[in-house]
Every structure is written in C-alpha cells, then in structure tokens.
Structure 1
Amino acid sequence: MYERLKAAAGLHRRSLNSEAIVCLEAVLLPNRTTADDRLARARELRASLPRGPFTAADIDAAKRAGRK
C-alpha cells in the first residue's frame, strides 16, 4: 500500500502526507452532490449558453476572457 500511495503522490505532485490526507478525505467526506443535482446544474449551464454554433473565434475569445 505504501508504494501505491507513493506513486499516487508523485503522479499528483503531492507529498506522501498530503496524498494520504486527500485519499482519506475522499473516502470519509464524499461529495454529497447527487447525480440529479449534477444533471440539473449541467442543464442550467447549457441553457445559459447562446444558441447557435460556436466558431473558433468565439471559443478563443471565451478562453481569453478568463485570463485577464
């Protein structure tokens, strides 16, 4: 188990201690969002998008907008 934890820590660029804490939190404090909640949120986000096709220029502009 130590070797697997060490490998995961390296993969995630964390210390062994930090990786152990993240793993414990994932098991002991699971995300309480239900599948229905996630689906509803995805539908809200989709509804907020403008209708019609996106162009490459639209996508580039959206990416740049978040980088200011």
Structure 2
Amino acid sequence: MPTTLTLKNIPDEVYERLKASAQAHRRSLNSEAIVCLESVLLPERMAVSERLARARALRAGLPKATFHANEIDAHKREGRA
C-alpha cells in the first residue's frame, strides 16, 4: 500500500535539480522524487551473463568496418581549429 512521505529542509540546489529533472521528464515533483528513490534503492539487478549477452548483441549490430589509425586521428581532429 502506498505511503505518504513529507520531506523537510531540502537543500535549494537539490530542489532545483529535482524540479528541472521533473520538467525534463514531464513528471510532477512527486513522481520524479519516486523515480529517483527507486533508481537508487531498487536498482535493477542483471546477471553477468545477461549483461554480456546484451553487450555482444550490441556489438554484433554495429557495421562491420575497418578503421585505420590515420582515419581515426582525422575524425578526432574534425572541428578542432
């Protein structure tokens, strides 16, 4: 059953960041606070094998291309003038 929680003495910086995050995610302050608490207190547990399988699937989905060191260096320098 849901419970009500009242928070007092929230630092201004924390409040402003929570407010900005709520606006960015189109949520109320209350909903954003719940999401933040859940992400810290109830993190999603993932087995190592599942994490590796996801990483391998992502890697397999990348285009098969060969990059040469000079191409990589040129791309890193783009926009740096």
Same fold (TM over 0.5): yes
Q: Per residue, is there more helix in 1 or in 2?
A: 1
Q: Which has the higher contact order (CA 8 A, sep 6+)?
A: 1
Query: What's the TM-score, normalizing by structure 2?
Result: 0.48
Which ranges of structure 2 fall in alignment gaps of 5 or more residues?
A: 1-13, 61-81
Q: CA deviation at 1:12?
A: 0.4
**Cα RMSD between the aligned structures?**
2.4
* Partner secondary structure for residue 33 of structure 2: helix
Figure out how many residues of one structure are paired with residues of the other and give that number: 49
Q: Which runs of 5+ in 1 are unaligned?
A: 48-68
Using the size of structure 1 for normalisation, the TM-score is: 0.56
Runs of 4+ in structure 1 off by over 3 angstroms are 41-47
